Structure 1
Amino acid sequence: MTNFVLVPGAWLGAWAWDEVAAGLRAEGHEVYPVTLSGLAERHGPDSARVGQQQHVDDIVAVIESRDLRDVVLVGHSYSGIPVGQAAGRIGDRLRRVVYVDSNIPADGRSFVDGWSAEGRAWVEGQLAESGGFWPPLTAEDYVDQDLSDEAITLIVARSTPHPGRAISEPAKLTRPIGELPTTYLKCLLDGATPSADVVEQLKSPSWELLELPTGHWPMFSQPTALTKLLSELG
């Protein structure tokens, strides 16, 4: 039996994994979807002050408080950054890291550090206008990502603003991520090849690359295929 800890990307909560979690449980696995501080049911007026290191602590706490072992730790999109840090902190509890079309952490660098000057100016403007939050995407942003109209409506309706500190605070690695057993899942409708930093890590013998012919949110667009892939890794 494998313990899957599923961490959603920006603006989302544990609810984003509902279909995948149900599928994994049907295969006999234990599943622990995580809502990070400041998001979904944990969102509040003070959530803008939640930093990335709090998100790392959130993930570690789920694993250690339940004394989970044989953990497959899954991070989607933004959450690859706190997941990669948490994976280094849980020691031999870890079985595998799975990055689902996600960012990956680099020591001393934040989520936005790799962005262009124009992109950083844009997000900084959004944070300033929204009281320190990164506003959720609109329905138009989800077009051409293999999502049904119903899925887009659900995502837009349930998304919450993302804490700005979490995307601007630098990562702190306790272990190089290249040392950890890792699967990177590239969703091909969001770009045919991984980012340069992921390509560099894939040189490690501990890393492997898998692909899924869908968009950036496979837990909504292809939940059955994603469940099958994760179950096979478990």
Structure 2
Amino acid sequence: MDILLIGGLWLDTSAWDDVVPELEALGHRAVPVALPGQGDGSTTATLADQVAAVLAAVDSSAGKPLVVGHSAACTLAWLAADARPEKIAGVVLIGGFPWDDGKLYADLFEMTDGVMPFPGWGPFEGPDSADLSDEVKAALAAKAVPVPEGVARGVVHLTDERRFDVPVVVVCPEFTPEQARQWIDAGDVPELARAKNVELVDLDSGHWPMFTRPTALATLLANATP
């Protein structure tokens, strides 16, 4: 099966370098999705551009792909479910949840000259980054791609309620499945509260398991395929 891998903020496709061979060894075709504005040098890309890139990857897949979103890109994966509910096998959300209609995609940190630079590790102290070595932190910060304002402040538009029929697996790294269930039941994640098939799975890692637990992550992704 094709497994489309969508990295979160500041990540380019190289974020999946350690996961791709693990998925291929398990018999799947892993496809890191290149997002406009996250690795191609563009500072004017928009959220619509990134959605279009994800949908192009869906449309060019053989059969129905599994769409995987990490962190903020959980919303991109969910937008694919909204736009192509009949063309995808399911979505996997790693360390995040999809925004609902009308929210800004990722207006989270200060903008500088039309982009949102990586803010340093301060905001991610604690469980998010506890499993990252100083060397890995330095390497990630050095490679971090500033996110264009048109992406970060793009408005999420959801239109097709068939998205709620798409199977969802939430990979819980720096939080537990029990916490995720509490947030969903409390109404903090309205999209998943309405989804008909949601599975919560635990992964003992921080927020970036593609760097620290690539084999375990690949196994979870493979297990999420129908």
Tell me the TM-score range normalised by the shorter chain: 0.7 to 0.9
Deviation at 1:100, TM superposition (A): 0.4
AA at the equivalent of 1:43: G
Q: Distance in 2 between matches of 1:200 and 1:105?
A: 7
From 173, 178, 181, give the equivalent of 2:158. 173
User: Residue 208 in 1 paired to residue 190 in 2?
Assistant: no
User: Residue 164 in 1 paired to residue 163 in 2?
Assistant: no
Deviation at 1:217, TM superposition (A): 0.6
What is the root-mean-square deviation in Å for CA atoms of aligned residues? 2.3
2:6 and 2:33 in contact (8 A); partners too:
yes
Deviation at 1:90, TM superposition (A): 2.2
Q: Determine the structure 1 residue equivalent to 2:52.
A: 57
Where do 1:71-220 residues align within 5 Å?
Answer: 71-112=65-106, 123=109, 126-127=110-111, 130-141=112-123, 143-144=125-126, 145=129, 146-176=131-161, 177-188=163-174, 193-194=179-180, 195=183, 196-198=187-189, 201-202=192-193, 204-220=195-211
Provide closer, same or farther for how the CA distance between residues 90 and 207 of structure 1 changes in structure 2, counting only shifts above 3 A: same
- Normalized against structure 1, the TM-score is what? 0.83
Q: Distance in 2 between matches of 1:108 and 1:186?
A: 25
Q: Distance in 2 between matches of 1:51 and 1:103?
A: 20
Count of residues in correspondence between the two structures: 216
> Structure 2: any 5+ residue segments left out of the alignment?
none
SS of match in other structure, 1:174: coil
> Structure 1: any 5+ residue segments left out of the alignment?
114-119
Q: Distance in 1 between matches of 2:52 and 2:10?
A: 18
Q: Distance in 1 between matches of 2:153 and 2:66?
A: 27
**Percent of pairs with identical residues:** 28
Q: Distance in 2 between matches of 1:220 and 1:79?
A: 17
Q: Determine the structure 1 residue equivalent to 2:33.
A: 34
Provide closer, same or farther for how the CA distance between residues 222 and 169 of structure 1 changes in structure 2, counting only shifts above 3 A: same
